[in-house]
Structures are given as C-alpha cells and as structure tokens.
C-alpha cells in the first residue's frame, strides 16, 4: 500500500525482520520501515489474536508493538531504525524474560 | 409516591450486588440504591483474590466463614455465567505466600501455627514448602526465595467481571438498580418496615440492608446501628500483558486471565485520600521483582489506589438492628472472597429475618461494646 517517494535519496539500512535480511532507509522509524516493506500487520493482539499494524505513528495507539533486539512490546513508531537491528513480529502477549 | 420493595439494599458495590442478587433469586422484590461513579468503590480497585490462608487470627469464625465462601465460589461463578454469560475467570489452584529470607520463613511458620492453635479454629490444609519444591511450580523464582506457604483452597478471578456479572444477574432476576441515589435519610416506620429518601425519590421496604461500605458509618446510626468502619488505602499496579507464566496466585502478585501481572498488598491509613506515591509502588514492585526477576523486566501500564472498608478490628460486621428489626448492617474488606457466601448464605438469612448465630454470631457489633479501659 505504501510506496517510497521517488526523490527519497536517503541511505539504505539493513536489518533483520523475523530473521530475513531486509532494508529500510536512514531516518525511518521501525514502523515506517515495516509499512514501506508492505508489512501492514506487525503483531497479533494479546487477547483475541487479531492482526494489527502501525496506525497513529506517533506513540499513542500502541498498535505497532514488535519485539526489537529481544525486547518485547516496543512501540515500533517511536524507535529509530538502526543498521543490524533484529525486529520480530510479536505473536500475542509479550513473553516474560524478553 | 414512594416505590415499594420487599428489600432495599443501600450500596451497589460487590457486596450490595451479591446480597441483592441472592435476595432477587429468592423471588423478593429488591432494589439497590447506589451512588454514581464518584463513589469510593473498592469493588473496582481490589486485588481479586479468593483467599483463605492467613485469615482469622483473633477470630476463628472469620476463617470458617471465609472458607465456606471460597468453597462456594466455583458454584457461584458457574451460576453467574449461566445467568449472564459473563465468565469471572475463577481459578482456585491453591495460592502461595513467598518468603524471601530465613527470618520471614520462621515468622510465617510461627504465624500459621498460632492461627491454627486457636480454640475453635477449624483447621484448613496448608503446607510449608522449601525452595526446591517451590521451583517445581515456579521455575522463574529469584535467588532470594527461600520457600513458601501454600494453601490449596486459595485462588483468584477477574473481579471486574464478577462485579459486572453480579449486577447483571441481579437485573436478570428482576432486581431494580438505581444509580445516583445517594441516601439522605432512612428511618423505621411505625407499623414496621422502612422509608428511604434520596434527592427526588422515596422508597419503602419491609427490610433494608446497609451495604454502603464506609458510608455505613453515616447510615448506621439512623437505624440504631453502630458501624466503626474506616477507609484503608491500598495501592496496586499492573504490567503489560505477558504470556502465561504464573500458574498460581501469590498473595502480593498474580497474573490475570488476560496476562497482566497485578502487584499490590499495601495498607495505609490515609483517610479518604486516594492519591498514589512512587515510594509505596516502588517497594511493592521491587519485592515482586525479587520474587520473579522476569516481572522486573515488564513495563507497568497502570497504577491506582482504592479504599478498603476496614472495621475497627479488621473482621466483618453482620448485625441486625435491635431497635429497628429488619435493618441489617453488613461490612467487610474482602468483598470478593466473601461474595459467594453473601449471595448463597447471607441473603437467605436476611430474607428469613434472622442471622444464623453459629455462623455469624461472632460478627455482631456487640464485640465493640467493651469499655476502652478493659
């Protein structure tokens, strides 16, 4: 659904999404990078398991939760993408200990 | 024109709703008069344990009454689900008090022995577990946990759903609920029965039940009843939802049916002040994280406080007025644990116009009528 603007000349950043090497751009939030990759849903809800993805993109709705570098329930829209980051789909509730 | 009922219950918290439901189920025309959402509402802030262990030092009858209610909870929960479709998420797998030092362990063993050694105390099963046994149930305990006391009768539930289910079941049985009906006056009528006045409405009833929590201190004297109750603040916090890892409730922390870890057991004398403080919250969170280090890594998403309804000696009050028979005073701070007994046992006694002396005699306010110098 989302496409990069053609004039976007920012440098690419490599990161892992569920173990697969993928690319975003310098200056992306994790949530923006996921949407640009076509990953509209990045988690399943804690109670009913329904798919959810970034919505408000400004830290309010808590719908873009992902596991980043082993820590669950991170708000992807508030975390700047970094080179080598490991991002994982969050399946339901956060696992204690990560 | 006053509305007429068989019974009017003053107070729509969990206690009022459970008693009201019990009466409506017996076919009595019952009304619950309640304040609005501004009411101090322990039923919305409590910790949701159905708890037996530790209760009753100083009054063995309290332990017996608590145990009777805990034993009835599974039937009560099934009944509420049947009446309303609401699942209270009751689980009674047994519960723990975790101990973080040898000194705590010794104190706990001594306390439980003293509790059970009281004359007239109905013994309940409990065990003292060492660390290795605790680890078989809770592999994630921290290095400081030396052991635990375990009681197989303990459990927990989703108290918000139990509260909603009690009200829904009351309505389903034909009960009438009146929010925003703060009581101005309640008085016995010359020919028997009672009149209750709220701003804009009047009610008459053959019987009246005072289940207004700390409000009973104001209402009781209108009917010749003495209610020495005060608010006692408790603070609580809850973490983000986590996948299931606590299989049993612990007295100061538990994993809710939806995954959040609820932490709380503070007791403060602060009047009607419901403010929170990082000092108390931090102490509770720290202790929980010492018990389960993984809990310490979770984010806290909400904190709140609520006011327990605490009687002078901490035990419940069940008393029929001597000067105005048909008026019943009911107070307790464990409205969740006791809800099943309130619906199944207390409501029929109120309906019969007589509190059973064997079960409830100890909870009379006569126990407070002792000279201060004695």
Helix (H) / strand (E) element for B285: namely: helix B278-291
Give B-chain residues touching A78 at CB under 8 angstroms: none
For the cut 80, the answer to whether the pLDDT of residue B371 exceeds it is no
Phi, psi of A45 (to 5 degrees): -65, 160
Distance CA B194, CA B201 (A): 14
> B298–A95: do the CB atoms touch at under 8 Å?
no
pLDDT bracket for residue A88 (50, 70, 90):
very high
Q: Shortest CA distance to B166 belongs to which of B304, B303, B23? A: B23
Interfacial residues of A (vs B; Cβ cutoff 8 Å): 46-47, 73, 92-98
Per-residue pLDDT reduced to its tens digit, A43-65? 999 888 999 999 999 999 999 99
Domain ranges for chain A, please list them.
12-91
Identity of the residue in B241, B297, B298 whose CB atom sits nearest the CB atom of A46? B241
Identity of the residue in B259, B294, B295 whose CB atom sits nearest the CB atom of A93? B259
In the three-class reduction of DSSP (H, G, I as helix; E, B as strand; rest coil), residue B363 is classed as helix
For the cut 80, the answer to whether the pLDDT of residue B203 exceeds it is yes
Per-residue pLDDT reduced to its tens digit, B96-130? 999 999 999 999 999 999 999 999 999 999 999 99
Summary mean pLDDT of chain A = 94
Q: What is the pLDDT of residue B187?
A: 97
CB pairs under 8 A between A and B: 33
Share of chain A above pLDDT 90, in %: 87
Q: What is the pLDDT of residue B108?
A: 97
CA distance A63 to chain B (A): 13
All structural domains of chain B, each given as residue ranges with its CATH number in brackets, are 3-55+160-228+313-368 (3.50.50.60), 95-152 (no CATH), 230-311 (3.30.9.10)
Q: Is B178 on the interface with A (CB under 8 A)?
A: no
> Across residues A58-86, what is the average pLDDT?
95
For the cut 60, the answer to whether the pLDDT of residue B33 exceeds it is yes
Q: What is the pLDDT of residue A96?
A: 79
Summary mean pLDDT of chain B = 95
> Across residues A6-21, what is the average pLDDT?
96
pLDDT bracket for residue B373 (50, 70, 90):
low
Share of chain B above pLDDT 70, in %: 99
> Across residues A57-81, what is the average pLDDT?
95
Per-residue pLDDT reduced to its tens digit, B293-331? 999 999 999 999 999 999 999 999 999 999 999 999 999
The C-alpha angle with vertex B188 and arms to B347 and B8, in degrees rounded to 5, equals 35
For the cut 90, the answer to whether the pLDDT of residue B157 exceeds it is yes
Q: Is B242 on the interface with A (CB under 8 A)?
A: yes
CA distance B245 to chain A (A): 7
> A94–B240: do the CB atoms touch at under 8 Å?
yes
Per-residue pLDDT reduced to its tens digit, B256-291? 999 999 999 888 888 888 888 788 899 999 999 999
Q: Shortest CA distance to B99 belongs to which of B145, B53, B131, B134? A: B145
Distance CA A48, CA B145 (A): 35
Q: What is the pLDDT of residue B274?
A: 83
The CATH code that applies to domain A12-91 is 3.10.20.440
CA distance A71 to chain B (A): 9
Q: Is B302 on the interface with A (CB under 8 A)?
A: no
Instruction: List the single residue in B with minimal CA-CA distance to A71.
Output: B297
Q: What is the pLDDT of residue B372?
A: 63
> A46–B297: do the CB atoms touch at under 8 Å?
no
Best residue of A96, A97, A98 to probe chain B, by most B CBs closer than 10 Å? A96
CA distance B196 to chain A (A): 44
Give A-chain residues touching B258 at CB under 8 angstroms: 46-47
Distance CA A67, CA A46 (A): 14
> A96–B258: do the CB atoms touch at under 8 Å?
no
> A46–B295: do the CB atoms touch at under 8 Å?
no
pTM for the model: 0.90
**Taken in order B259, B333, B101, B117, is the CA torsion positive or negative?**
negative
């Amino acid at each position: 659904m989302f496409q990069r603007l053609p004039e976007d000349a920012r440098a690419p950043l490599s990161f892992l999404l569920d173990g697969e090497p993928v690319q975003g751009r310098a200056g992306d939030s994790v949530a923006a990078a996921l949407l640009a990759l076509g990953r509209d849903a990045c988690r399943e809800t804690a109670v009913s398991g329904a798919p959810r993805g970034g919505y408000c993109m400004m830290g309010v709705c808590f719908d873009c939760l992902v596991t980043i570098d082993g820590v669950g329930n991170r708000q992807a829209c508030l975390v700047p993408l970094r080179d080598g980051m490991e991002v994982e789909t969050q399946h339901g509730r956060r696992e204690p200990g990560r | 024109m006053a509305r007429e009922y068989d019974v009017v219950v003053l107070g729509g918290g969990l206690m009022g709703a459970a008693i009201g439901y019990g009466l409506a189920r017996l076919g009595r025309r019952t009304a619950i008069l309640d304040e609005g959402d501004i009411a101090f509402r322990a039923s919305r802030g409590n910790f949701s344990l159905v708890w037996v262990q530790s209760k009753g030092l100083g009054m063995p009858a309290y332990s017996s009454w608590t145990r009777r209610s805990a034993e009835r909870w599974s039937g009560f929960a099934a009944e509420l689900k049947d009446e309303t479709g609401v699942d209270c998420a009751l689980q009674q797998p047994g519960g723990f008090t975790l101990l973080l030092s040898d000194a705590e362990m010794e104190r706990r063993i001594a306390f439980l022995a003293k509790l059970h050694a009281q004359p007239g105390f109905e013994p309940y099963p409990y065990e003292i577990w060492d660390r290795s046994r605790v680890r078989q149930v809770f592999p994630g305990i921290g290095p400081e946990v030396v052991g635990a006391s375990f009681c197989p009768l303990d459990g927990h539930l989703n108290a918000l759903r139990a509260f909603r289910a009690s009200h829904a079941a009351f309505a389903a049985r034909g009960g009438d609920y009146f929010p925003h009906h703060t009581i101005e006056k309640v008085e016995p009528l010359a020919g028997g029965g009672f009149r209750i006045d709220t701003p804009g409405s009047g009610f008459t009833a053959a019987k009246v039940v005072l289940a207004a929590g700390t409000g009973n201190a104001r209402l009781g004297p209108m009917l010749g009843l003495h209610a020495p109750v005060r608010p006692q603040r408790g603070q609580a916090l809850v973490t983000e939802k986590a996948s299931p890892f606590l299989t049993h409730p612990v007295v100061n922390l538990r994993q809710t049916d939806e995954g959040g870890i609820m932490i709380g057991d503070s007791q403060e004398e602060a009047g009607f002040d419901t403010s929170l403080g990082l000092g108390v919250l931090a102490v509770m969170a720290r202790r929980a994280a010492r018990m389960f280090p993984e809990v310490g890594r979770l984010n806290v998403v909400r904190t709140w406080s609520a006011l327990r309804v605490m009687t002078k000696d901490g035990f419940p009050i069940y008393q029929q007025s001597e000067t105005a028979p048909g008026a019943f005073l009911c107070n307790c701070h464990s409205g969740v644990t006791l809800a099943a007994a309130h619906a199944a046992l207390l409501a029929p006694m109120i309906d019969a116009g007589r509190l059973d002396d064997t079960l409830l005699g100890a909870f009379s306010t006569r126990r407070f009528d002792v000279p201060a110098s004695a």
